[in-house]
Chains A and B, each alone.
Chain A
Amino acid sequence: MELKVLGIRHHGPGSARACLQALKDFVPDLLLVEAPTEMDSLLDFVLDPDLKPPVAGLIYNAKDLSEAHYYPMAVFSPEYQGINWALKKSIPCRCVDLGIGKQMALEKQGNKHPSQTGSPAQKKKQGDEISNDPLGYLASLAGFEDRERWWEMHFEHTDHGAAIFETVLELMSHIRDQAKGTEDAEPILREAHMREAIRKAKREGFEKVAFICGAWHAPVLQTFENFKATDDKTFLKGLKNINCSATWIPWSYHQLSNNAGYSAGVKSPEWYHLLFKNRNDATIRWMTKAGRLLRNQQMSGSAAHVIEAVQLAEAITSLRDQSLPGLQDLEEAAVAALCHGNKAMLDLIRKHLVIGSRAGKVPKSIPVIPFQKDLEKQIKSSRLQKYRETNKAHWLKGTADKPKGGIDLREPNDQLKSLLLHRLSLLDITWGYFEPSSETDLGGFKEYWKLQWKASFAMRIVEAGMWGNTVESAAINFLKDKAGKVERLKELAELLQQALLAYLPETMNALIKKLDEAGATTLDISLLLELVHPLVQAYTFGSTRQIDIRALESLLMHLIPRVCIGLPNCAQQLDEDASRILQEEIIQANQAIQLLQRKDLDALWTEALVKLSDALHVHPLLTGFSTRLLWDRMIFDLTETEKRFAFGLSSAQKKADAAYWIEGFLYGSGQLIIHQPSLWGLMDGWLQSLDPEDFKEILPLLRRAFSEFSSIERERMLDLARGIKKKEDNMELIPEEVQKVNKELGFLWQKNS
């Protein structure tokens, strides 16, 4: 049997071309490829016209989808080109690297072979770099940033395609000799496995076998006869296996460059693409594209510019004694000739012409998980297909008149869309970016969605498939699982919101029940207080979406009274920091309860606030603040407020406490005190009564209280303090009118906060 091992650079366009040439010259009767055995089942699809690279072989643990490996292949990957060529010629292909299932099992044992004792080699990092891309590593040692150019210079210009691989083989044998003894168990096992595959081919009577593998492995495969078959066999014996499934998923150049989950990623996929497809006029094409790109951005990039840039690139190359410009030369020429020295424009060029945005496609016939089938069905039935087919961002139903579009939840089909999108975001497939119709109008009938399908969803879909076979069941199971892990009640309430939006009534009711139970046994009122806001929000969502929210309503009916009763007690004996947190929660709850517009609950809430403002052992910040809320809600009239104001600032109070009281009372807006001469007088008097020492002490507190006001407000106060009266202040103001205006103002800041 004749064996020809083609040691390649993974994702090297030069390698790919040389590899094709070598195959054509050699014409093997069997092609072996360094790819895990699980990928064998995927080879049938390679010739499918609907399979468009970049794609990735996804191999995953069927039971635990978080364990997955990707094998990206681009059009310039030597493996892809080799397999493609062989299959077209009806030459059988085999993936013969150690299966991922076995590699995973090995990883779980800490990368140790059962027979091996002691820890694996520590030098992993550098070793990885060398063994993943040994040719690239050599290039970097030779000072080449663009590793492809190093390949070009050293390997492309040899006369014969196959001769390159002999050089590579020789080079690698030397490197392997030096690295002896530092290898991990895993690569050694993989190599043993691959040698076994060669022996098997020999036994089966194949006469000319070609083997495409990373350059690193080439020496130990070519010389397989120097290794004892029995050694390899015993070495491989007793390996555990995890059952894995494999499928093709679409990949993108962006992902290929990201190194996401893939250590042998490349820096410049789009450039490699060009090099593979149009090597001879790569410079011209690249520059032309750069010129067009700049033109599209309303910058100068005419054909004349491009000509100059190409000439410059070629001049630079010849100055550097090289035959073909490398990426770095191209970029430098583009900056000087196209971008007028402006390097910022280079980012744009890099994004499009170095990394690129090409995304692959996989045939529909590929084995898909049931979840994906259901998803495609739902996309079709909710008429979202056209948004699914592009990678660009679009506003759902956006038109020229209404660029943001928007869907109406009263329309059955729009409701379907909303459901699907909410469910998908729940499952972390963030196809749509949700924008409620407006900040204040969460209960509206309109929803705005910005849709953008990303190649990375392919993996997320597989992950989501772990939770169920339909979008709905997956969402339900996912939520249930999440609810089981949640510790804070507030997070439960937020999950409930999501469940409502995604219309999962079953989960919703389960969550409500859980909240009800947890709420009943919780003694900490502050935990319940923070539930009010998200629950009320969920309630308003639900009522506009015609969802049965009676259970939620009854939950609120239990919850809010408990909160109201417990609040004054829970606020006692808190220090400043805790009080500030509580204050924020009171603001939210206050807003939420107002939104509900239920008189009975409102009454309970104001009662609680009155108690809070009267309480003795509550931090003055909170008593002041609750007084303010009650004034805003027109529970306290001016006399009552004056009384409490005077009390809060009376001389027997600690000076600092009085300052806190003022801060709480003035929270958010100083208008009140500007327009109420009596309150102003009280404060003024109090301030003047302070002796200098006390004043110094509380100055920082006061400063903070006033720092949040607008500069206009502060200026007015300054005028007041100086005794300058503005015209409108001389007008007789009717107290009721003032209070009305104040209420409006108070409402305003609540909305804004």
Chain B
Amino acid sequence: MKNKEETAVLRAHAEVAYAKELAALQKADKHERPTNWLLSPKAVVDYLMGGVTVGKTEISPKYFGSRRLIEVAVATLVTDRALLLVGIPGTAKTWVSEHLAAAISGDSTLLVQGTAGMGEESIRYGWNYARLLSEGPSHRALVPSPILRAMKDGKIARLEELTRIPSEIQDNLITLLSEKLLPIPELETEVQAIEGFNLIATANDRDRGVNELSSALQRRFNTVVMPLPPSLEEEVKIVKARVDKKNWASRAASNKELKEIQRLVTIFRELRSGSSEDGRAKINSPSGTLSPAEAISVVNSGLALSRHFGTGELKAKDLAAGLQGAIIKDPVQDKTIWQEYLETIVKERKGWSDLYKACKETL
């Protein structure tokens, strides 16, 4: 029965998908836990970084990168301040915030998605109008936002894309974060956050300047900048680990396929950084961000192609279409950049002729 449930959900919450690991950590955790935290700060860091074995359960790494960075993030949540994760798209901001919430509160669902058209009820509370009309303002008519629920329960709330939210709506967070309370004037009452409440917000670097945080709000956050992976090996590791496990069709990736991923990541890194990996050639960068997340989706689509239309093994031609889609965001400029890159770099590189041919065909 349980299996059926798992297959029914397209994507399980972190606390469900990694329930076993969390339980093991919780059992073994001897360190002091802040009030209403399910794990000690140290165990939270271990959960994210992985690589340790607790009892018989191996903890898988969720975040590939600097341990120190995660330590700063977790330490922030211990203090009074909220955490702001900043980075270009695809640097695992949301992923980290989800797992932090799952590890600390066992609940990653208290989520508000920031949008340009968002109203303040998404942060504060709304009303069930049918009730409001029939009963007048009452607690039963109140529809609390996920943040309000987190305050009541002493949990971690998550706010995605903070800088997409208009400034006047953003500012609703100020009292909430500094006084840790939310007044509800209609009911002549207020909700005071209980211990364990905190907020993890994410913001996109590319949105900088659109809805800049007011300095009053900025002061309520500690900012952690999520970097792009420093080396090729690291990035390959990330892509490999995050590629949808279903798509490997219950088998390990062959060496050939790993090489395919390595080529893909190389292309992404080179186009992103503007120079070849050996630093000898200058390369124009296209307009897209080309983050690891996009590399992952290219591999996913490649795998799907090969499974349904190909040999089942990931090959250059399976990747070519996805690659082009990820790189060419602007049909005119990016296309020339991609062509240039194919002709000057891919064509010349040893052992890359199959990839060159495949890409030329799709162009």
Interface residues of A (CB under 8 A from B): 300, 302, 304-305, 308, 311-312, 315-316, 319-321, 328, 332-333, 335-337, 339-343
Contact indicator B72/A316 (Cβ below 8 Å): yes
Task: Pick the contact of A300: B45, B74, B218 (CB < 8 A).
Answer: B218
Task: Pick the contact of A336: B76, B80, B215 (CB < 8 A).
Answer: B76
A-B contact pairs, 13 of them (CB 8 A): A300-B215, A308-B80, A311-B79, A311-B80, A311-B81, A316-B71, A316-B72, A319-B42, A333-B72, A336-B222, A339-B223, A340-B223, A341-B224
Contact indicator B76/A312 (Cβ below 8 Å): yes
A158 → B minimal CB distance (Å)? 25
Asked whether any CB of chain A lies closer than 8 Å to the CB of B264, the reply is no
**Could you tell me the distance between the alpha carbons of A315 and B45 in the complex, rounded to whole angstroms?**
13
Asked whether any CB of chain A lies closer than 8 Å to the CB of B41, the reply is yes
Known A-B contacts A300-B219, A305-B219; the reply to A315 vs B225 at CB < 8 A is no
Asked whether any CB of chain A lies closer than 8 Å to the CB of B173, the reply is no
- Residues of A within 8 Å of B86, CB to CB, are 341
Contact indicator B225/A341 (Cβ below 8 Å): yes
Task: Pick the contact of A319: B45, B81, B215 (CB < 8 A).
Answer: B45
Interface residues of B (CB under 8 A from A): 41-42, 45, 68, 71-72, 74-76, 78-81, 84, 86, 215, 218-219, 221-225
B227 → A minimal CB distance (Å)? 10
Contact indicator A315/B224 (Cβ below 8 Å): no
**Could you tell me the distance between the alpha carbons of A311 and B218 in the complex, rounded to whole angstroms?**
17
B340 → A minimal CB distance (Å)? 26
Contact indicator A308/B215 (Cβ below 8 Å): no
- Residues of A within 8 Å of B74, CB to CB, are 319
Task: Pick the contact of A315: B68, B78, B218, B219 (CB < 8 A).
Answer: B78
**Could you tell me the distance between the alpha carbons of A285 and B223 in the complex, rounded to whole angstroms?**
22
- Residues of B within 8 Å of A302, CB to CB, are 219
Contact indicator B218/A332 (Cβ below 8 Å): no
**Could you tell me the distance between the alpha carbons of A568 and B75 in the complex, rounded to whole angstroms?**
81
B174 → A minimal CB distance (Å)? 13
A341 → B minimal CB distance (Å)? 3
- By Cβ-Cβ distance, the 3 closest A-B pairs, closest first, are A341-B223, A315-B75, A336-B222
Known A-B contacts A319-B42, A332-B68, A341-B223; the reply to A312 vs B75 at CB < 8 A is yes
Contact indicator A308/B223 (Cβ below 8 Å): no
Contact indicator A343/B75 (Cβ below 8 Å): no
Contact indicator B72/A336 (Cβ below 8 Å): yes
Known A-B contacts A319-B42, A319-B75, A332-B72; the reply to A312 vs B219 at CB < 8 A is no
A680 → B minimal CB distance (Å)? 40
Across the two chains, which residue of chain A brings its CB closest to B227? A343
**Could you tell me the distance between the alpha carbons of A304 and B215 in the complex, rounded to whole angstroms?**
13
Supplied contacts A308-B81, A320-B71, A340-B223, 5 more A-B pairs, CB within 8 Å: A312-B75, A316-B72, A319-B42, A342-B223, A343-B225
Task: Pick the contact of B79: A315, A339, A343 (CB < 8 A).
Answer: A315
Main secondary structure, interface of A, reads helix
- Residues of A within 8 Å of B41, CB to CB, are 315, 319
**Could you tell me the distance between the alpha carbons of A335 and B219 in the complex, rounded to whole angstroms?**
13
Contact indicator A304/B72 (Cβ below 8 Å): no
Contact indicator B71/A319 (Cβ below 8 Å): yes
- Residues of B within 8 Å of A332, CB to CB, are 68, 72
B37 → A minimal CB distance (Å)? 13
**Could you tell me the distance between the alpha carbons of A302 and B215 in the complex, rounded to whole angstroms?**
11
Across the two chains, which residue of chain B brings its CB closest to A304? B219
**Could you tell me the distance between the alpha carbons of A510 and B125 in the complex, rounded to whole angstroms?**
92
**Could you tell me the distance between the alpha carbons of A321 and B30 in the complex, rounded to whole angstroms?**
14
Known A-B contacts A305-B219, A319-B74, A332-B68; the reply to A312 vs B79 at CB < 8 A is yes
**Could you tell me the distance between the alpha carbons of A336 and B223 in the complex, rounded to whole angstroms?**
4
B74 → A minimal CB distance (Å)? 6
- Residues of B within 8 Å of A336, CB to CB, are 72, 76, 222-224
**Could you tell me the distance between the alpha carbons of A583 and B57 in the complex, rounded to whole angstroms?**
81
Known A-B contacts A300-B219, A304-B219; the reply to A337 vs B81 at CB < 8 A is yes
B225 → A minimal CB distance (Å)? 4
**Could you tell me the distance between the alpha carbons of A333 and B223 in the complex, rounded to whole angstroms?**
10
Across the two chains, which residue of chain B brings its CB closest to A333? B72
A507 → B minimal CB distance (Å)? 51
- Residues of B within 8 Å of A321, CB to CB, are 42
- Residues of A within 8 Å of B225, CB to CB, are 335, 341, 343
Across the two chains, which residue of chain B brings its CB closest to A339? B223
B57 → A minimal CB distance (Å)? 22
Task: Pick the contact of B75: A300, A316, A328, A339 (CB < 8 A).
Answer: A316
- Residues of A within 8 Å of B72, CB to CB, are 312, 316, 332-333, 336
Across the two chains, which residue of chain B brings its CB closest to A302? B219
**Could you tell me the distance between the alpha carbons of A311 and B81 in the complex, rounded to whole angstroms?**
9
Across the two chains, which residue of chain A brings its CB closest to B226? A341
Across the two chains, which residue of chain B brings its CB closest to A311? B79
A721 → B minimal CB distance (Å)? 33
- Residues of A within 8 Å of B218, CB to CB, are 300, 340
**Could you tell me the distance between the alpha carbons of A484 and B312 in the complex, rounded to whole angstroms?**
81
Contact indicator A312/B81 (Cβ below 8 Å): yes
- Residues of B within 8 Å of A311, CB to CB, are 79-81
**Could you tell me the distance between the alpha carbons of A392 and B345 in the complex, rounded to whole angstroms?**
52
Contact indicator A337/B71 (Cβ below 8 Å): no
- Residues of B within 8 Å of A343, CB to CB, are 225
A314 → B minimal CB distance (Å)? 8
Known A-B contacts A319-B74, A341-B86; the reply to A312 vs B42 at CB < 8 A is no
- Residues of A within 8 Å of B81, CB to CB, are 308, 311-312, 337
Across the two chains, which residue of chain A brings its CB closest to B78? A315
- Residues of A within 8 Å of B78, CB to CB, are 315, 319
Across the two chains, which residue of chain B brings its CB closest to A317? B75
**Could you tell me the distance between the alpha carbons of A131 and B347 in the complex, rounded to whole angstroms?**
53
B343 → A minimal CB distance (Å)? 27
